[in-house]
Amino acid sequence: MTARRLARAALALATTGVLAAAAPALSGPVLVYREGPESCPRDRPAGGAALTEAQAIERARTLLPKTFCGPTFFVDGCDSEPEFALGIWRIYVHQYKIADGRKDRSGLGHSYLILYPVGNCVANIPGT
């Protein structure tokens, strides 16, 4: 093997090692939950009245960080997409900025809240 081939092989091996070590970092964000009585309370009686869609959206919005829906320099508001399936509320909340008279979500945050029918929090998952 010549010195040039040996150098190429060493470089290829080193590159492979660096990429293999970096793969977990490149594979995506670590899943994080918002926890605690302000972000994910479980304070309602299990036998209480089930929330309507509007109540579930309002409950979900109260569990977001205070400035999540703006108004701030970057965020004018947020939209909610509720879904009731398998006895659980799932509320997906998107931030938006008004641009050219329309809601532009690009580059902004989102959050995913999962609630029991009475409004107790199952999970509060911030987006990336």
Are residues 38 and 16 part of one domain? no
54 and 96 in a common domain: yes
- Where are any strands of DSSP class E within 1-128? 77-85, 88-99, 102-104, 110-115, 121-126
Does residue 105 share a domain with residue 45?
Answer: yes
Q: Which of 84, 44, 46 has the alpha carbon at shortest distance from 62?
A: 44
**Does 67 share its domain with 119?**
yes
Task: Give yes or no: residues 47 and 100 share one domain.
Answer: yes
Per-residue pLDDT of the chain (128 residues; tens, 9 = 90+): 566 665 565 545 444 444 444 444 455 555 688 999 999 999 999 999 999 999 999 999 999 999 999 999 999 999 999 999 999 999 999 999 999 999 999 999 999 999 999 999 999 999 85
Q: pTM to 2 decimals?
A: 0.73
Q: Token digits for 46?
A: 């299990």
Count of domains forming the chain: 2
**Do residues 110 and 61 both lie within one domain?**
yes
Q: In which domain, by residue range, is 16 found?
A: 1-30
Reference 94, options 54, 55, 60; nearest CA is: 60
> Do 62 and 121 share a domain, yes or no?
yes
